[in-house]
Structure formats: C-alpha cells, structure tokens
Structure 1
C-alpha cells in the first residue's frame, strides 16, 4: 500500500509521473454561471456494499502503472484506498467500480446523488463529502484530506483557480499523492487544445485500471452497448426530431439565460446520444463558454425553440421544477409566448457531470421527455450486479 517515504524523504507515496508537460499559466478557465441553485446537499442511504479496495484483475499489493494525458505514466505501489475527485463524472465512475465515494469534490452540490434513486438497490451517501472549492481552493485542504490519489486534471486546477502553479501541484504530489485525470466534461478550454480528450468510457476505463477493477468496467461496457442498442429505435429520424435549445436558467424565475451550444465532452453525451437538433447552433447566438454572456427572453424568442432544456435545476424534483421555474415562464408576459412554454415542452436538461451510471439515468429520462419513450432502456439489476462485482 502507500507507505512512508524512503530515507531521502522526498515523497510520501511512491509514484512516477512523466510523459507530458503541464500547461501552466494564467489563462482564464471556465467559471460557473453566476447564479446556481444547486446548493442542496442530498444525503442518501448507505452505499451499496463494496468489496475491499484492490479487488479485481491484479494483486492488490503489486506495483503497476497507468498512463493518461496530461499526467503521463503514474506508478502505484498498491491500490489507492482513499481518493479525491474533481466532479461528479469521476465520482459516479467510482460508484460504478464499487468504491466508497471520494472524500471531496470541487462542488459537492453538483454531484446529484438523487439520480441513483432511479435504481433500486443503489444509493450513495455524500453527507461527509467535502467541497474543495470554498472561497478558492487551498493546498491545506488537500493536505488535511491526505488522500491516496487526486483524480483531476492538474491543468484544470492551475487554470481555473487563482494561486495554483506547477510548483504547487508538485508540492501536493510530493507531500500527499499524485494527480491523475483529464478534464473530460466539456471541450471548450483553450489550455486543453494541446492534448487529447477522453470519452466517458475511455476515462472510466483508465480509472478502473487505477483501482484495479477492470472487470466492473467491462461489465459496464456491455451495459452501455446494450443501452445504445435499446436507444436507437427510440430516436426519431432527423425530420421528426424537435429543435432544442439548451440554456442555464438564472434563478427560480429566470429572465436571463446562459446559452449552451451542444458540443463535445461528457456533459453533452446524453444529448449527442439522443441526436438532439440544436436550435442555438445556427441561430447566431454565441455559446456561453466563448462569451461568458447571458441572453434575455427576447433573444430566446427570436430563436423560439420547440423544446427548452434548462440547466441549473437538477437539485429540484420534476414537480419542484414545474411549480417554480416552469410556472414562472408561463406567467411571464414575454416568456409565455415561447413555443416550448405554450406546448408544455420545458424540461430539465441534465447535469454537467455524468459518469457511466448517471448517464444511463439522464439519457433515459430525456428520451421520455423528448421522444415519449415508455420502455425501460437499461437493466437496473445488471447495474447493481456490476457495482457489487457480481460479474
């Protein structure tokens, strides 16, 4: 396992990082939309029983290396037991691998554990999870957590948060544990242009290798493939699919919105898999990530999408969403003229951070909202069996 350093005292845990250069600098990273209602902490039931860390294909006491851009090859002298991750994409991958949840995320409020309610026998308790972002991100918090691995892209840390440099990252790796990860949830960061992105399943496979649980990854790969096959006949032909606008609503009575042009990254996977027609893509409205600007109701009326998908409300139940956000649009003098509002086609868009389980839940939910799918599109029992290692 991760032992104390040798006599040279340079590192607390043994690992080797190389093969890629970190992209430091002061480029502005993605900031969260200014208003975000996703602050409710959800405390679920205890997690599904997991096997001891290290169960899988390889001897848990043997050393091994896993490579991923931009960190290169990282060598482990034992399977990590405690971990920290950057967002709910990686946290959900850990759940799929049967691990205990990470001890910390950037923002725990955006890890929506209520998604697991759609799967009997699976629940996650995040009540003890720490938010790394608390008026910035401090090195002290990493030191206090003392995790065995930090599942995050070091370039995200350096470019998104003030006060972080390659020297600071190196200090955390030296005194605590390595960083291992790639920013996969979106593809708009200028500092990510110089190294590859990973798909959700590619990133999941890398994490499975780190925790030596590739058997569970393979089980989910099969579940994912079958889900895609079940989804295909649900998606109408191009001419029959409605035009959809994805926006982030500001507040419970939104009159301004951050526009999201559907792009790459795991945060848009469910929309791509449903072959959604993007009403904003050819409208002339610029993507939020390029402008950091909001649009008003009048601009949205000019686009007038058939369906309006709202981000920023995943902490609400469907009933809460309809009784607050949708009701406010219906009562608004201008917004009530939107075709989507008049036809009752306003839905939650799904979270930014998706892993192999939450993507199944969100894609199935949106298939019902958009296309009226009635059937169950993935086998819940297979999911639980894979999480528990019954593969």
Structure 2
C-alpha cells in the first residue's frame, strides 16, 4: 500500500484520503463518559531492540510488554485523539478508527500551515457504548494503538482471550491509557507522560528523528510559555467541568490530575478550585453537579469541556449567553467577569497540546504572541527535520 500524504508543500491542504471500512460513524457532539468495571492484564516492559538482518524490530510499553514488528505498520487503529495526533506528528496517515471521532478535533490543525486531516471516513469504534471485534476485523489495521485494559474495562464483552485473538488474527496491540491516571485498574502499571508516550509510538513507526525534532519544539514552547505564567498569587482558581450542548444545566466535575488531558492546565499552573472541596471528581463518583453547587465553589474561572467543536464566538453566543441569562449561573463570579472558556479536549497529542495551551494562555493571561513555531511544526510533519 502506498503511503498517502496529508500535508502539501506550499501550504495547499490535500486532506487525507482514508482507505478501508465505511461502516457506522458517530453523529452528533461529544458524549459524556460512562461508568467502568474493573479488570487488569499487565506485562512487564522490555527494552526496544532492532535486528538489522531481518528488518524486524521490537518496541515496548506497559502494559503490553515487548511487541515485535516484521515491518513498519502502514495502517493503524487508535483508541483516541491523543494517539491519533501523535501519529500525525510522526508523518503517518490518520488512523482508520478511534473510539469516538467527535472527540478527535482535527480543526486544531487549522493553526498549522498546510496541515489538514480528513476524518470523514474515519470509523468510531465505540457504537452504542460497545466495541465490536468485527469492526476491527473490517478495518484490518497493521497495529492497534490502544491499552487492552481500557478496552476490557470500558466495554462489555472484552476479555483477555479477545485481545489475544486480535493480536493473532489482525495485528499487534500497543498502548497505554495516558489521558487519565484516575482509573483504578491503572494503578498496577506505569503511566506515561505525553512526551514519553509519543516517544514509544515513534519506536513503533520507526520515526525517532521526527520525535526528537518535536521534542525540541516542545522544549522551546515551554521556554516561551514560562514568562507568560504569572506568580502563584496572581494565578486564577479554575473549575474544570464537562458540559455538552448549548444550554447546559448539569456539569461533570474534574479535578486536575497528572493525565495528559490536563497537561495544558499543569503547564499554565492554574489553581484547582475543586481540589479542596466536597465535590467528588467524576472519575470516582460518576456524578454531576448543578449551578447551585458551582455557586458554592464560585471559581474565578470556569473551564468547560465538551465544547471543543465550537469556535470561541459560537461558545460565547450559546453557552456563555445562556449562563448570563440564567437566574443562578449569572451570579457566578466567572460569569460576571467574563471568565468562562472552553477547557480544551480530553485527548491531546504533541500538536494539539501546543494549540490548546497557547489558546488558554491567551484566555487566562492575555498572551498575545505566538508561543511556538507553526511552520516548524508543519516542516517536521512533512519530513523536513
């Protein structure tokens, strides 16, 4: 199969043309996460090796351990937008499928010259709260970038024997649930930071030089971001919630943790308004709060997830407008002071993290300069290191 390019020289976006399954795709906006069961399957991590004579190589990551590859994968399936974005950064075709296509926000790439990803044929693996093995057979990916424990704990009907079947009959399974560290079944094996996970995927696709180039971009971005972040006494307290729709009435609260979905907030060093309250984190409680509870907390800034499909203007004209006209919400300090913003997506990779961090740096701290080199990002994706 010939590798199809998705970034064009001279800034002309070609868009990715995906081959394969045209099965069901998800309609509508971002859905609310669901409850989990408990189960684990772990293996110890091994050191990555390469055998020049056979062109085969191995890559390793917990909980899957050491995985062998006879050749570099060309087609792949990813569990979410974190891994999908890593693959794009490594110059790969977009994955054939992710859990939910609505949560892979490809419009973030609009900031990068010439970069465009078409997900119109991308398949949502999660259909009605379940993932079918038949879908994976149809997609026939060379590798499945997903944590098997996430698959077994979040979707009914998946057991270790099913993971083994996918490995043996379709392709390797390689991945870790990096976006969140709050699942109880993740306590038994290592969690990876965004850049650590990115480096592991670079081993799978044999794109270590691209990874190193992106690592330099990431380091430069951190250097540029540092003077933008004010001293602790001047940093705002923020409440992070999930609320979908144009006129939300209930909110799923998130305390800021070490998962990659909170990397931008940790880098911006915001204070967590929910951390020392009686409000339980969504991962542990699966519960929602209302405007009255938010008013008791009364954060300086309210950050809302589930709204990433909207532009800033659309968000202000729907969600924020609704709050300003709401009897209780209009009393929130964040609403009165115009400090309600989109929080950034759950799933962040090396490119999307740059975009949402810079965006929120402007919202919170008034940063008005570009903090990363967009053309350099485009060049790396296009193979110009």
Q: Give SS of 1:256's match.
A: coil
In the alignment, which of 30, 43, 48 is matched to residue 38 of structure 1? 30
Structure 2 CA distance, aligned partners of 1:175 and 1:123? 32
Question: For residues 189-204 of structure 1, what are the structure 2 equivalents within 5 Å?
Answer: 189-204=183-198
Q: What do the CA deviations read for 1:178-211 (whole angstroms, capped 9, x no partner)? A: 1000000001111111100000000000000100
Per the TM alignment, residue 249 of structure 1 is displaced from its structure 2 partner at its CA by 1.4
Seen in structure 2, the aligned counterparts of structure 1 residues 215 and 58 have a Cα distance that, compared at 3 Å, is farther
Per the TM alignment, residue 61 of structure 1 is displaced from its structure 2 partner at its CA by 6.9
Seen in structure 2, the aligned counterparts of structure 1 residues 61 and 376 have a Cα distance that, compared at 3 Å, is farther
Per the TM alignment, residue 356 of structure 1 is displaced from its structure 2 partner at its CA by 0.1
**Structure 2 unaligned residues grouped into runs of 5+:** 2-27, 32-49
Which stretch has the larger CA shift, 177-186 or 57-66?
A: 57-66
In the alignment, which of 277, 283, 293 is matched to residue 271 of structure 2? 277
Q: Give SS of 1:350's match.
A: coil
Structure 1 CA distance, aligned partners of 2:258 and 2:211? 22
Match of 1:83 in 2: 76
Match of 1:322 in 2: 316
TM-score, scaled relative to structure 2: 0.86
Match of 1:223 in 2: 217
4+ runs of 1 displaced by more than 6 Å?
57-61
In the alignment, which of 365, 371, 379 is matched to residue 377 of structure 1? 371
Structure 1 CA distance, aligned partners of 2:131 and 2:333? 43
Which stretch has the larger CA shift, 250-259 or 161-170?
A: 250-259
Structure 1 CA distance, aligned partners of 2:345 and 2:53? 34
Structure 2 CA distance, aligned partners of 1:219 and 1:172? 33
Seen in structure 2, the aligned counterparts of structure 1 residues 212 and 306 have a Cα distance that, compared at 3 Å, is same
TM-score, scaled relative to structure 1: 0.85
Structure 2 CA distance, aligned partners of 1:119 and 1:368? 18
Q: Quote the RMSD (CA, aligned, Å).
A: 1.6
Structure 2 CA distance, aligned partners of 1:237 and 1:202? 28
1:207 correspondence with 2:183: no
Per the TM alignment, residue 38 of structure 1 is displaced from its structure 2 partner at its CA by 2.6
Structure 1 CA distance, aligned partners of 2:315 and 2:54? 49
Match of 1:97 in 2: 90
Q: In the alignment, is the contact (CA less than 8 A) between 2:29 and 2:102 conserved in 1?
A: no
1:258 correspondence with 2:252: yes
Structure 1 CA distance, aligned partners of 2:87 and 2:357? 20
Q: Give SS of 2:126's match.
A: coil
Seen in structure 2, the aligned counterparts of structure 1 residues 128 and 228 have a Cα distance that, compared at 3 Å, is same
Question: For residues 2-151 of structure 1, what are the structure 2 equivalents within 5 Å?
Answer: 37-38=29-30, 62-135=55-128, 136-151=130-145
Per the TM alignment, residue 333 of structure 1 is displaced from its structure 2 partner at its CA by 0.5
Structure 2 CA distance, aligned partners of 1:130 and 1:264? 29
Structure 1 CA distance, aligned partners of 2:74 and 2:319? 42
Q: In the alignment, is the contact (CA less than 8 A) between 2:301 and 2:340 conserved in 1?
A: yes
Per the TM alignment, residue 59 of structure 1 is displaced from its structure 2 partner at its CA by 7.1
Seen in structure 2, the aligned counterparts of structure 1 residues 386 and 59 have a Cα distance that, compared at 3 Å, is farther
Q: What do the CA deviations read for 1:52-105 (whole angstroms, capped 9, x no partner)? A: xxxxx9979710011100000001111011000000000000000011000000
Q: What do the CA deviations read for 1:300-335 (whole angstroms, capped 9, x no partner)? A: 001101111000100111111111100000000110
Q: What do the CA deviations read for 1:322-367 (whole angstroms, capped 9, x no partner)? A: 1110000000011000000001010000000000000000000000
Match of 1:164 in 2: 158
Per the TM alignment, residue 272 of structure 1 is displaced from its structure 2 partner at its CA by 0.3
Per the TM alignment, residue 251 of structure 1 is displaced from its structure 2 partner at its CA by 2.8
Match of 1:178 in 2: 172
Match of 1:341 in 2: 335
Match of 1:308 in 2: 302
Structure 2 CA distance, aligned partners of 1:102 and 1:216? 18
Structure 2 CA distance, aligned partners of 1:232 and 1:157? 37
Q: In the alignment, is the contact (CA less than 8 A) between 1:186 and 1:266 conserved in 2?
A: yes
How many pairs are equivalent?
A: 340
